[in-house]
């Protein structure tokens, strides 16, 4: 999978300059058919990307602001691991009021995706109470004591309803304007417990103390497992309480 795939969006399709992105993908602003867009090249298979494309189209139909796939010249929504999406204007959230708007938008996402099928190859946090692997997670690579702590945190989510979670609603993945909140970078989206999305600055989602503690511990455990074993993962694991 290389950037040669961009030619499938037309002879004038060109990269502009690299963006900061996650470790799993190479993200660049591009110009396609004269318009500004964002392209993401990664190792995800076609089933994984098809799930993401269908999700974004569904959310757009439900009135949520999300990037939408721009098709290749022959009409495909992605090609050879490359996904080209519309550019979304806006600023990152900063104030408590901004983050409350983000929380409201995340809850709209959760309501709109109840019963949504799991992303191919992924596992939810509660699935990992028994499964060892799922996409980027390999619990066998973590220290056994760390796995036990993560599973204890996820066990507290058992029995809660599930839906699509964005998976990484950090300031860099939110674009706010006066009239809407947009969520971008859906590479970590999957089906899980919605509270995982709602561990926000200043408890903007208004979770009660008990729910916030459960969600914060489960979220820290998830990020430790997904990122293991870089420095960030070690820091996140340290936030998960010992047994």
> Model confidence over 107-134: pLDDT tens digits?
999 999 999 999 999 999 999 999 999 8
Cα dist. 182→78, 141, 195 in Å? 22, 35, 19
Instruction: Find out whether 120 and 189 touch, Cβ atoms under 8 Å.
Output: no
- Please report the pLDDT score of residue 135 as a whole number: 82
Residues 227 and 109 in one domain: yes
SS3 231: helix
Residues 162 and 233 in one domain: yes
Residues 62 and 145 in one domain: no
Q: Is residue 105 one of the residues assigned to a domain?
A: yes
Residues 213 and 124 in one domain: yes
**Model pLDDT for residues 161-186, shown as the tens digit of each residue:** 999 999 999 999 999 999 999 999 99
Give the domain CATH number at 204: 3.90.1200.10
Q: Which residues of 154-171 are buried (b: 16+ CB within 10 A; e: fewer)?
A: bebbeebebbbbbbbbee
Instruction: Find out whether 182 and 151 touch, Cβ atoms under 8 Å.
Output: no
Give the domain CATH number at 46: 3.30.200.20
Residues spanned by the domain of 115? 96-238
Pairwise CA distance, residues 141 & 241, whole Å: 20
**Per-residue pLDDT of the chain in tens (243 residues, 90 and over written 9):** 789 999 999 999 999 976 554 445 689 999 999 999 999 999 899 999 999 999 999 999 999 999 999 999 999 999 999 999 999 999 999 999 999 999 999 999 999 999 999 999 999 999 999 999 988 899 999 999 999 999 999 999 999 999 999 999 999 999 999 999 999 999 999 999 999 999 999 999 999 999 999 999 999 999 999 999 899 999 999 999 998
Q: Is residue 21 one of the residues assigned to a domain?
A: yes
- Statement: the pTM of the whole predicted model exceeds 0.85: yes
Per the structure, the count of domains in the chain is 2
Q: Cis peptide before 229, with omega less than 30 degrees from 0?
A: yes
Pairwise CA distance, residues 227 & 86, whole Å: 28
Pairwise CA distance, residues 162 & 219, whole Å: 15
**Alpha-carbon torsion 224, 229, 235, 240, what sign?**
positive
Residues 64 and 125 in one domain: no
Query: Which of the listed residues 41, 63, 86 is the one where a domain comes to its end?
Result: 86
Query: Which of the listed residues 66, 86, 106 is the one where a domain comes to its end?
Result: 86
Residues 170 and 111 in one domain: yes
């Amino acid at each position: 999978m290389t950037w040669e795939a961009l030619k499938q969006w037309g002879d004038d399709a060109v990269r502009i300059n690299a963006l900061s992105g996650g470790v799993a993908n190479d993200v660049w602003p591009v110009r396609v058919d004269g318009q500004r867009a964002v392209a993401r090249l990664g190792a995800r298979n076609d089933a994984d990307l098809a799930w993401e494309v269908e999700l974004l189209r569904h959310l757009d139909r439900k009135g949520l602001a999300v990037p939408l796939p721009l098709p290749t010249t022959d009409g495909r929504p992605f090609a050879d691991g490359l996904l080209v999406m519309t550019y979304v204007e806006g600023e990152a959230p900063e104030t408590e009021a901004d983050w409350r708007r983000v929380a409201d938008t995340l809850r709209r996402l959760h309501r709109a995706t109840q019963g949504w099928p799991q992303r191919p190859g992924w596992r939810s946090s509660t699935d990992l109470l028994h499964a060892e692997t799922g996409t980027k997670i390999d619990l066998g690579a973590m220290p056994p004591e760390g796995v036990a702590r993560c599973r204890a945190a996820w066990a507290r989510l058992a029995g809660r309803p599930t839906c699509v979670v964005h998976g990484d609603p950090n300031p860099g993945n939110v674009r706010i304007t006066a009239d809407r909140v947009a969520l971008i970078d859906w590479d970590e989206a999957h089906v899980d417990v919605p509270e995982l999305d709602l561990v926000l600055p200043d408890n903007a989602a208004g979770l009660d103390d008990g729910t916030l503690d459960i969600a914060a511990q489960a979220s820290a455990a998830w990020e430790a497992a997904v990122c293991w074993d870089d420095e960030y993962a070690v820091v996140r694991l340290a936030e998960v309480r010992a047994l």
